[in-house]
Structure 1
Amino acid sequence: MNQQTAVPPPMDGRDPSNLRGDKITGDRYFSKEFAQKEWDHVWTKIWHIAGRTADIPEAGDFMVHNFMKESVIAVRQEDGSVRAFYNSCGHRGMRMVDGMSSVASFHCPYHGWKWGIDGKLEYAQDADVDFKKGNPCGKLKLGELRCDTWGGFVWYCMDDDGPTLEEFLEPMPALYRNYPMDTAVRVAWYRIELNANWKFVTDNFSESYHTRTAHPQVPPWIDQDVDSARHEMWPKGHGRTVQPMRPSLSDRPEGGGNAMFEAELRKWDIDPGKYATYEDFALQGWKDLKAAKQKLWKAKGYLHYEHMNDEEITDSPHTVMFPNVTISFLPDNLILFRSEPHPDDPEKCYFDLWCMAFPVEGQTEVESIMAGVKPLREVPECEHRVFDNGRGIPELAGQIVYQDMELAENMQAGMHSRGYKDAYLSDQETRIRFFHEVLNDWIEGRA
């Protein structure tokens, strides 16, 4: 994909005048009819992430992404490109592979047909003697989808006529061009079944208004106060909250200290005791941290800082990419969240959590933010879990993402209430309604 360089100015994500005012009604979260509209007009048109480019480094390496009742293979080609095919044998439709592996060709377990990694049929039993139309080998091909890469991810689209990946993601590639995303190491990898509609996840990550209530551990190290964070959104539905990674002045730790930020300052050779007031500690300390990181990044082995600016090396632009991918861009971590609908029940979804860290010289483990301390190495496979009121992922208890999932089921239940007619939103929740309005545009053919 060609990398864009110009970033158009965002709309103010705290200005409701940018909205039409479309209602967010409860049936959107449980109606099978609405879910069918999403399949027909959204999921079959947008770009999906199949996986990470790092998972398929060599020719013949493949990954399978199952989405609702569809299945797609993304496979590395001999020339280094990646192509995507429907995981459906051209003979009788049998799914051929699952997970990740490496093959010389795809072998159908039903009748033995073999398809090359380029999608062409290589072998069929009795090919020369039992097909009146002639030998099908070399003539038939697997159904192919458009495929592209960005950010260290493999993307595919089921629609042959829609926007390119560059057009679909605009302006995200330009906005995050300074992050060497393809070098990040995935240190935690979860897929969690959750009893909530997929849109709960996008709603949740489109605002920080809930943080003070749901995540009391956040304000000591990320300032999400209403007047501190910057809220931005773009016409295609993408948006972000740019959060300074410094202590909130509204929610101070009991006792007046802040061990987490003090440790961060010391790591960059800044004495946290030199500040006369807590305000100086938070605000001037944050500015001093920017200067220290720009001066010392190479000596301390933070080579991924090479092209990152002052904001990128000290802040967290928490970014939602329409409709269902969220990436938290932290100075030393990338955290991907993705929600995908259940194939049969609109009141269930799959919640993906990928914690990725940029390698730093001398580090052997990292604080993955959402999954705790992890070894700095690629995890070999995905952990498939059922949330089950938290019992399914006890190792994540107390983490931010666990706290979000704890809220999901009661939020889903509330959508059925006769007392709920529409969301009554604060200005800093403007992006929630904007997301639903863009979703409506896709469903109604205006996108």
Structure 2
Amino acid sequence: MNQQTAVPPPMDGRDPSNLRGDKITGDRYFSKDFAQKEWDHLWTKIWHIAGRTADIPEAGDFMVHNFMKESVIAVRQEDGSVRAFYNSCGHRGMRMVDGTSSVASFHCPYHGWKWGIDGVLEYAQDGDVDFRKGNPCGKLKLGELRCAIWGGFVWYCMDDDGPTLEEFLEPMPALYRNYPMDTAVRVAWYRIELDANWKFVTDNFSESYHTRTAHPQVPPWIDQDVDSARHEMWPKGHGRTVQPMRPSLSDRPEGGGNAMFEAELRKWDVDPGKYATYEDFALQGWKDLKAAKQKLWKEKGYLHYEHMNDEEITDSPHTVMFPNVTISFLPDNLILFRSEPHPADPEKCYFDLWCMAFPVEGQTEVESIMAGVKPLREVPECEHRVFDKGRGIPELAGQIVYQDMELAENMQAGMHSRGYKDAYLSDQETRIRFFHEVLNDWIEGRG
């Protein structure tokens, strides 16, 4: 994919005058008719992430992404490119593979047909003697989808005529060009079934208004105050909240002090005791941290900082990519959240959590932010869980993402209430309604 360089100015994500005012009614979270419209006009048109390029480094390496009732294979080719095919044998439709592995060819377990990694049929039983149209080998091909790479992710699209990946993501590739995303190591990998519609997740990550209530551990190290964070959105539905990674002045730790930020300053040779007031500690300390990181990054082995600017090395642009992918860009971590609809029940979804860390010289483990301390190495496979009111993932209890998932079931239930007619949003929740308006545009053919 060509690298974009120009970033168009964002719209103010706190300005409701940028909205039409479309209602966010409860039925869009549980109606099977609405879910069918999403399949027909959204999911079959947009770009999906199949997985990480790191999962398929060699020719013949493949991964399978199952989305609702569709299944797609992304496979590395001999020339190093990646191609995507429907996971459906061209003989009678049998799914051929699952998971992530490596093959010389795809072998159908039903009748033995073999398909090359280029999608061309290589072998059919009785191919020379039992097909009146002639041997199908070398003639038939698996159904192919458009495939592209950005950010160390393999993407595919079921629509041959829609926007390119670059057009679909614009301006995200330009906005995050300084992050060496393809070098990040996935240290935690979960797929969790939730009793909520997939849109709960995008709604949740499109605002930080809930943080003070749901995540009291956040303000001491990320300043999400309404007047501190910057809210931005772009016409195609992408948006972000740019959050300074410094203590909030509104939520101060009881008893004074802030061990987390003090430790961060010391790590970069800044003395946290030199500040006369807590305000100086938070605000000037944050500026001093920027300067120290720019001076010492190479010496301390943080080589991924090479092209990152002052904001990128100290702050967190929490970014929602329409319609269902969220990436928290932190100085040393990337955290991907993705929600995908259940194939049969619109009141369920699959929630993906991928914690990734940039390698730092001398480090053997990392604080993954959402999943705790992890070894700094690629995890070999995905953990499939059912949330089950938290019982399904006890090891994540107390983590920010766990707290979000705890809210999902009752939020879903609330969408059925006769008392709920539309969301009454604060200005800092403007991006929620904007997301639903862009979703409406796709459903109504304006996407």
TM-score, normalised via structure 2 length = 1.00
Q: Is the partner of 2:27 in helix, strand or coil?
A: helix
Cα deviation for residue 42 of structure 1 reads 0.1
Q: Is the partner of 1:353 in helix, strand or coil?
A: strand
What is the percentage of aligned positions where both structures have the same residue? 97
Q: After superposition, give the CA deviation of every residue in 1:72-103 in whole Å (9 maximum; x if it has no partner).
A: 00000000000000000000000000000000
Q: After superposition, give the CA deviation of every residue in 1:396-431 in whole Å (9 maximum; x if it has no partner).
A: 000000000000000000000000000000000000
Q: Is the partner of 1:422 in helix, strand or coil?
A: coil
Cα deviation for residue 232 of structure 1 reads 0.1
Gaps of 5+ in 1: none
**Mapping of residues 161-200 of structure 1, within 5 Å:** 161-200=161-200
Cα deviation for residue 24 of structure 1 reads 0.0
- Which residue is 1:298 aligned to? 298
Distance 2:222 2:187 in 1: 22
Distance 1:362 1:52 in 2: 24
Cα deviation for residue 272 of structure 1 reads 0.2
Q: Is the partner of 1:148 in helix, strand or coil?
A: strand
Cα deviation for residue 223 of structure 1 reads 0.1
Cα deviation for residue 256 of structure 1 reads 0.8
Distance 2:365 2:137 in 1: 50
Distance 1:379 1:158 in 2: 29
Cα deviation for residue 354 of structure 1 reads 0.1
Cα deviation for residue 280 of structure 1 reads 0.1
Q: Is the partner of 2:140 in helix, strand or coil?
A: coil
Cα deviation for residue 307 of structure 1 reads 0.0
Cα deviation for residue 227 of structure 1 reads 0.1
Q: After superposition, give the CA deviation of every residue in 1:258-286 in whole Å (9 maximum; x if it has no partner).
A: 00000000000000000000000000000
Distance 1:438 1:391 in 2: 35
- Which residue is 1:124 aligned to? 124
Cα deviation for residue 253 of structure 1 reads 0.3
Q: After superposition, give the CA deviation of every residue in 1:46-72 in whole Å (9 maximum; x if it has no partner).
A: 000000000000000000000000000
Cα deviation for residue 12 of structure 1 reads 0.1
- Which residue is 2:427 aligned to? 427
Instruction: Please identify runs of 4+ aligned residues in structure 1 that moved more than 4 A.
Output: none
Cα deviation for residue 153 of structure 1 reads 0.1
Distance 1:191 1:143 in 2: 27
Q: Is the partner of 1:98 in helix, strand or coil?
A: coil
- Which residue is 2:220 aligned to? 220
Cα deviation for residue 316 of structure 1 reads 0.1
- Which residue is 1:378 aligned to? 378
Q: Is the partner of 2:431 in helix, strand or coil?
A: helix
Cα deviation for residue 164 of structure 1 reads 0.1
Distance 1:56 1:168 in 2: 24
Q: After superposition, give the CA deviation of every residue in 1:286-337 in whole Å (9 maximum; x if it has no partner).
A: 0000000000000000000000000000000000000000000000000000
Distance 1:395 1:73 in 2: 31
- Which residue is 2:272 aligned to? 272
Cα deviation for residue 338 of structure 1 reads 0.1
Q: After superposition, give the CA deviation of every residue in 1:316-368 in whole Å (9 maximum; x if it has no partner).
A: 00000000000000000000000000000000000000000000000010000
Distance 2:413 2:302 in 1: 45
Q: Is the partner of 1:276 in helix, strand or coil?
A: coil
TM-score, normalised via structure 1 length = 1.00
Distance 2:52 2:188 in 1: 13
Distance 1:142 1:446 in 2: 31
Distance 1:185 1:78 in 2: 24
Distance 1:405 1:197 in 2: 12
Cα deviation for residue 240 of structure 1 reads 0.1
Tell me whether 1:244 sits opposite 2:254 in the alignment. Answer: no
Cα deviation for residue 392 of structure 1 reads 0.1
Cα deviation for residue 151 of structure 1 reads 0.1
Q: After superposition, give the CA deviation of every residue in 1:370-404 in whole Å (9 maximum; x if it has no partner).
A: 00000001000000000000000000000000000
Cα deviation for residue 167 of structure 1 reads 0.1
Let me know the Cα RMSD of the aligned residues: 0.2
Cα deviation for residue 22 of structure 1 reads 0.1
